[in-house]
Structure 1
Amino acid sequence: MRGQKERRFAVNLKHESGFRFISQASEDGRLHGNPYVSDEPDPVGEASGPATPALLGSAIGHCLSASLLEALRHAHVEVLGFETEVVAIVKPNEDGLPRIDGVDVQLRPTVKNRSAETKRCSGIFEKYCTVSSSLKKGIEIRVNVDWQLAE
């Protein structure tokens, strides 16, 4: 989204039951993808869909993955596969209320070999991630790139 003007991403949530919501993402009235379910885990919800910390983790992981993928493509590095694992850590704060204490992100791109280009991409991609760059001031986000070499 670099070099673009302001954009407004919307999500409309409709309460279904308990703590379960059906959400639909859009931008300027154009729907993005299919509706999706979110729910709270036990003991309050039924865990029928991802909980809010998992959705936040998904947004962070997707954005970082896309940023690294874009950097690698610009560097003409062939990516043969890509997996990402994100763990959002929720702990009680000083008032005993659950808060996101940090987020651990493991990016696992598969390439033919490590090179100067992969090293350079590792050093620059995070600054292009809109989501993690916006959240870092309030949440510690720990990112590790675990290069996988194709056999």
Structure 2
Amino acid sequence: MSDTGFKLRLTQQANFQFLVEFLDTEIPPITTDEPPPLGENAGPNPSRMLAAAVANCLAASLMFALKKFKNEPDPVTVEVDVQMTRNEAKRLRVGAVDVAIKLGKPGAAFEHLDRVLAQFEDFCVVTQSVRDGFEVNVAVRDSEDVLLKG
């Protein structure tokens, strides 16, 4: 990703459905939509996209940090639990995002794991950008379901 930014275009397709185009890449467009009663669930809504972005960024940052020390964490799986809340004005907001990352190997198989776990979140652009707005809780488990972080 460029340090200077990127460009998107959203074009309404029908009702609450938008075609999202990534203008500076060859990434194929996606459709976003709201769930009923507003939309038809023809694609993820913005809250789901935000949660996916947080989780994907954390997983990629963790994988990068592990691979930097020649570790192979594959396969990595991530589960996300999003809590929606209402603010003082009764407006719906993302209240918290719980991200559970599971590595494909036991914790003992990884070199420099303590160092990796201590710093990988700092390199996640999305998570660090949204943490001022809502809580992001992260847990990392190995293939034997041992809690490594969180």
TM-score by length of 1: 0.86
Return the match for 2:66 from 72, 75, 87. 72
The residue aligned with 2:123 is: 128
Displacement, 1:116? 5.3
Aligned AA (1:71):
A
Instruction: Report the Cα distance in structure 2 between the residues aligned to 1:54 and 1:8, rounded to whole angstroms.
Output: 22
Instruction: Report the Cα distance in structure 1 between the residues aligned to 2:71 and 2:3, rounded to whole angstroms.
Output: 30
Spell out structure 1 runs of 4+ moving beyond 3 A: none
Deviations 1:109-137, CA, capped at 9 Å, x for gaps: 11254245223211110001011011111
Query: Matched residues, percent identical?
Result: 29
Question: Matched residue of 2:119: which SS?
Answer: helix
Give yes or no for contact 1:77–1:118 (8 Å, CA) kept in 2: no
Instruction: Report the Cα distance in structure 1 between the residues aligned to 2:70 and 2:51, rounded to whole angstroms.
Output: 28
The residue aligned with 1:111 is: 105
TM-score by length of 2: 0.87
Gaps of 5+ in 2: 145-150
Instruction: Report the Cα distance in structure 1 between the residues aligned to 2:76 and 2:130, rounded to whole angstroms.
Output: 23
Q: How many residues align?
A: 144
Pairwise CA RMSD: 1.9
The residue aligned with 2:41 is: 47
Deviations 1:20-49, CA, capped at 9 Å, x for gaps: 1110124xx333x11101101122111111
Instruction: Report the Cα distance in structure 2 between the residues aligned to 1:138 and 1:96, rounded to whole angstroms.
Output: 16
